[in-house]
Structure 1
């Protein structure tokens, strides 16, 4: 969607030289862009039986919570290790230089839950794969993953489909990394 894409700024050489960082804060500051983004997801998932939306820390919270509210669904925060107070389930995943861990509350999933997994962007897919594995391990059906931005050259959406059978819906794509 060209209106949404036009409101996302690109910051070169962040967080390191050679990276083109796709910054959604400029989109979030724009009332039209924010409304269009949330509305696009709500239109897509209305009537699809979504019982909960799971958002990946932290930008996944920004889009996931209002989508959950509009769908009449619950919201599950997926956080970095050590940020949730009750009993959690964790999943380790690879980063470019090392490993990281995400977690959710063990009681976040009810049998039969149909989950929409959300984040702002999918690149290599490591965090999204880990989040989907967590949800599936607790018995959830992950209906689809929704992101504002896909970076298809980095292969994350294709990896999520290939490895876990989960389709990724994106509002816009950017070439490169």
Structure 2
């Protein structure tokens, strides 16, 4: 098992805040470039919820589609991708052939909210779903995924993230566990 101090140090060493004309953003590109850190992420995110015994890992596009499979492989379970509906409108099968779960974020989220979708057939009773992502602030997307999981009759195992920047009530309600908090990153 990876030493917690080692992964935290690597996350700090390869992270940067970037100033742009539209504001400051978290530059995570160093995380993906460090092969040892990349190798450690899946097992480390999986270890955050050892008692939850997830049967499936879900990840929201875009970075959840990278971290989710790494975590699922570590747990020996499958992976479900959660897509943003506007990105796949008009693609694939007809809805009646493959019904989708849908849940939206609040209207104020990302200038108008968004709708997350996943094929209904991929979640069901008996599943324990662990959501994996790189960062959580408001919990809007995680709340939407949790509603989808509930609608499918599956159980919520929690959220594993690299960075926790959410309020305590969100952390508790969604069972969020993280490798680092935002204030642990270099400023």
Same fold (TM over 0.5): yes
1:169, distance to aligned residue in structure 2 (A): 0.8
Distance of 2:123 and 2:64 partners within structure 1: 18
Query: Could you say if the C-alpha distance between residues 160 and 46 of structure 1 is closer, same or farther in structure 2, counting changes exceeding 3 Å?
Result: closer
Work out which of the residue numbers 69, 85, 89 in structure 1 matches 2:101: 89
Work out which of the residue numbers 67, 75, 85 in structure 2 matches 1:63: 67
Gaps of 5+ in 2: 1-7, 93-97
Partner-residue secondary structure (3-state), 1:58: coil
1:90, distance to aligned residue in structure 2 (A): 0.8
Alignment of 1:24-39 (within 5 A): 24-39=28-43
Gaps of 5+ in 1: none
Query: Could you say if the C-alpha distance between residues 160 and 42 of structure 1 is closer, same or farther in structure 2, counting changes exceeding 3 Å?
Result: closer
Partner-residue secondary structure (3-state), 1:98: coil
Distance of 2:113 and 2:47 partners within structure 1: 36
1:48, distance to aligned residue in structure 2 (A): 4.1
1:5, distance to aligned residue in structure 2 (A): 2.7
Aligned counterpart, 1:172: 180
Work out which of the residue numbers 10, 16, 23 in structure 2 matches 1:9: 16
Distance of 1:142 and 1:23 partners within structure 2: 30
Q: Does 2:96 correspond to 1:114?
A: no
Provide the TM-score with structure 1 as the length reference. Answer: 0.83
CA RMSD in angstroms, aligned pairs only? 2.2
Partner-residue secondary structure (3-state), 2:153: coil
Query: Could you say if the C-alpha distance between residues 23 and 136 of structure 1 is closer, same or farther in structure 2, counting changes exceeding 3 Å?
Result: farther
Query: Could you say if the C-alpha distance between residues 96 and 45 of structure 1 is closer, same or farther in structure 2, counting changes exceeding 3 Å?
Result: closer
Distance of 2:71 and 2:123 partners within structure 1: 18
**Deviations 1:54-106, CA, capped at 9 Å, x for gaps:** 00111001111111122111101110115373321111112142121111101
Aligned counterpart, 1:40: 44
Distance of 2:37 and 2:73 partners within structure 1: 18
Provide the TM-score with structure 2 as the length reference. Answer: 0.79
